[in-house]
Amino acid sequence: MSWYEKSNIVNSQVEDIILSYDLDRETIVEAKLIGEVEELISENADKFKLILEDRKLELTVYHIIPFWRDGESIEDNCGTVQVGDELLCIDPEELTVSKKKVIEIEVGRTDNTPVRHPKSSNGYYFVNGILLHD
């Protein structure tokens, strides 16, 4: 039996304990959702679908994401991520992380698109197994 479960962002609530990561200590940590998971409607904002070999994630441009380019650690909005950059991904079953390359990026614009916005106690969390800054 698996010890973890996937929790759809729609159903996540303040006080939920979620998987996160401490970049300074390079350690997987548990963090608490401390902010309301708001549902918002985004209109005509840049959006980017980051596609990795085994997972993907679509974000509006303002989302901050840690990534690595040529070995250098960068934290910037997702619009600056390029194909070939690496994102930190988790294997929740084994509790290990690895850097995986972005193999494709689809660019678009939001059109009255529902978006959701959790805040965690340490500022980071994994969405679809990819580390993001909140």
- Closest contact distance (angstroms) between CB of 41 and another protein is 5
User: At 125, which helix (H) or strand (E)?
Assistant: strand 124-127
- 12 lies in the site for another protein, by CB under 8 A: yes
Residue 122: helix, strand or coil by DSSP?
Answer: coil
**Residue for token digits 């084994």?**
94
Q: Which is nearer to another protein, 19 or 87 (CB)?
A: 19
CB 89, CB 129: distance < 8 Å = yes
Segment interacting with another protein (CB under 8 A) among 28-36, 67-75, 81-89, 99-107: 28-36
**Footprint on residues 39-98 left by another protein (CB under 8 A):** 39-47, 57-64, 90, 92, 94-96
- Bridge partner residues of 64 (DSSP): 77
Q: In one letter, which amino acid is 101?
A: K
Q: How far apart are CA 82 and CA 111, in angstroms?
A: 23
**Closest CB to another protein among 61 and 105?**
61
Instruction: State the residues that interact with another protein by CB under 8 A.
Output: 1-10, 12, 16-19, 22, 25, 27-33, 36-47, 57-64, 90, 92, 94-96, 110, 113-119, 121, 125-129, 132-134
